[in-house]
Amino acid sequence: MNFKELELPENILTAIEEIGFKIPTPIQEKVIPQIIAGRRDIVGLAQTGTGKTAAYGLPILSQTDIHASVTQTLILCPTRELCLQITRDIENFARHMPRLSVTAVYGGAGIVEQMKATRKGTHIIVATPGRLLDLIKRKAADISAIRYLVLDEADIMLNMGFKEELDAILAAAPAQRQTLLFSATMPVEVSRIAASYMVDPVEISIGQKNSGTAAVEHQYVMVHARDKYQTLKRVVDHNPAIYGIIFCRTRAAAQEVADRMTHDGYQAEALHGDMSQAQREFVMSKFRSGHIRLLIATDIAARGLDVNDLTHVIHYDLPDDLEAYTHRSGRTGRAGKTGMSLAIINMKEKYKIERIEKSVKRRISAIHPPAGKDICQQQLLHLMDKIRTAPVNRQRLAPYLPMVVEKMADLDRETLLSHVVSLEFNRILEYYKDMPDLASAAQKPTKIPQKPAYKETGKSIHKETGKSVHKETGKTGYTYLVVNIGKNDHVLPPQLIGLVNQSTRNRYIRLGKIDISANTSRIQVENVYVEDVVNAICGYRFCGKKLSVEKESSPRTKSGKRGGQGSEVGVQKAGGRVRESGAIAP
């Protein structure tokens, strides 16, 4: 079957062809004709990533009267991120319907603008329950004439405590409507919603109810609790092309893991509820574009992340709710691709794996933590693939090749390859040469590096030694570098440490105090590495900015003014390459 057989209008068919949709997914194939026919309410059970938004969005658009300035469709979803994602998708599907209006309504954003938009008249409202109910009470949103009511990820909305809001909104909606409920799982409360507010619904289930998608392989690794972080690093290093989400149970745990990974040179950032909406959108934008490869997130914060190319979902903490495991795992293995769901558990959590296996009706295989030898082998193969597939512009290289050939003339093929590999690979070999095998060291204590300590004000704590150092330069062998990014660019100390690691490709550079102001940051760098850091950062692109860096010629006085006669400015760009994976920071 193709989309033309689903009786969609030509302008929508043109839009989905431009988007790249070829054939409908199973949920789309079954749901679209039911909505167009408009006969019965629908309960759609399918995993995340199976195309549910298009399944209801395309037929609803085909039935929308763009000449009527009343709200005809209400789409409810659990989080602001999913609300924005659905809005973007609907607008994309309606790219050839210029008069169509879609309004996103969610908390954490200015309510006045949302009230203006809904009062003005909008065809489709995409909303989180709390904010919508607030607008209804203020008489700013009118849902009395809606024809379609969509509950997207109803199980998550109920898990988040939106039962009362949903009851109030559903009770306020007109009786003559088509209600469309979509969920990955079917807990008791979702069944209650269906029984109370839907009329003779038809259930459309893709795959086994409450089960995970077959495109995802499920594994777990069991280690001592003290070895969990080291195991996480090994998993990431064993998969050099990893692009994934690491789930933690709490906001504090997500931030701590993100800080430690950034400190260790990985392209990683946190996403959780303690961050402002602007910070969260900034992080998600970087993750979607691939500028960061690892997102350390809580369950709620990761809702609405529509990324089709994720290779891994890693459960650093298993969720308390078994259904959350299904939602997490559904983040990967999307759009026809395969994925990996890996849980890192301690010795006391084996029973949870058994419970999850029964819940998702899938076998979860036990694996050993990657050994240092295996990690080195995978990193080496990845390096070889990068060298083989690197784009070569022979025309540009032509003037320089004779010089290169002459310079390397005394090296045979094997020796030349050894030098090329050693240039990138020696650091990894050095790091793992004395590392114990976590699988065989079950009874042996493993030394875990402590969380890096740093402060933005007052006395400085050295990020590696943990020792207190004086904040004035010159007394500790450190020099302040001033970089043109600051709080307005949403940077924190971990990102600045990661900037140094990534741009210099050297994770052993010692940093001291970090001060962040509105538009600049001062980073204390050990004197022996100052020139390397200046050359690497100058001209480097970070946070969407081309960076410049100044070397302070003397420390600041208590009044905040610099002493001396000015500063030197680094002007040469050198070696600032960002790693493609979470490999050990070169």
pLDDT at 413: 87
Question: CB–CB of 493/514 below 8 Å?
Answer: yes
Which is more confident, 360 or 476?
Answer: 360
pLDDT at position 586 over 70: no
Which is more confident, 172 or 505?
Answer: 172
The token duo for 296 is 């350390």
pLDDT at position 71 over 90: yes
pLDDT at 341: 93
- Quick one: which H or E segment has residue 399? none
Rounded mean pLDDT, 299-316 = 79
Closest of 454, 518, 532 to residue 485, by C-alpha: 518
Q: What is the pLDDT of residues 153-212, one digit of tens each?
A: 887 787 777 888 988 998 889 989 999 998 877 767 778 888 888 888 888 887 655 455
Eight-state DSSP code of residue 484:
S
User: Helix (H, G, I), strand (E, B), or coil: what is residue 29?
Assistant: helix
Provide the strand spans (E) within 322-409.
Answer: 339-345, 365-367
Rounded mean pLDDT, 77-94 = 90
Helices then strands, each counted (H, E), the chain: 20, 23
Task: Return the CATH number of 3-205, one of 3.40.50.410, 3.40.50.300, 3.20.20.450, 3.40.50.12280.
Answer: 3.40.50.300
Spans of all domains in the chain: 3-205, 216-371, 373-432, 460-569
Distance CA 279, CA 270 (A): 10
Confidence of residue 526 (pLDDT cuts 50, 70, 90): confident
Whether domain 216-371 has CATH 1.10.10.10: no
pLDDT at 372: 84
pLDDT at position 524 over 70: yes
Terminal Cα-to-Cα distance of the chain (whole angstroms): 50
Same fold, 3-205 and 460-569: no
Is the whole-model pTM more than 0.85? no
Distance CA 29, CA 137 (A): 38
pLDDT at 209: 52
Which is more confident, 385 or 557?
Answer: 385
Distance CA 556, CA 549 (A): 17
Interior angle at CA 107, CA 104 and CA 111, nearest 5 = 75
Q: What is the pLDDT of residues 389-413, one digit of tens each?
A: 888 888 888 888 899 888 888 988 8
Distance CA 291, CA 301 (A): 19
pLDDT at 135: 94
pLDDT at 563: 42
Q: What is the pLDDT of residues 189-206, one digit of tens each?
A: 778 888 888 888 888 887
pLDDT at 559: 42
Question: CB–CB of 155/142 below 8 Å?
Answer: no
Query: Looking at 363-367, 369-373, 490-494, which range is the least confident one?
Result: 490-494
Question: CB–CB of 146/74 below 8 Å?
Answer: yes
Rounded mean pLDDT, 246-254 = 91
From edge to edge, which strands make up the β-sheet containing 202-205? 102-105, 124-127, 73-76, 148-152, 178-183, 42-45, 202-205
The token duo for 177 is 């409507």
Tell which CATH architecture fits domain 460-569. Answer: 2-Layer Sandwich (3.30)
384: number of Cβ within 10 Å: 14
Query: Looking at 250-264, 283-297, 510-524, 550-564, which range is the least confident one?
Result: 550-564
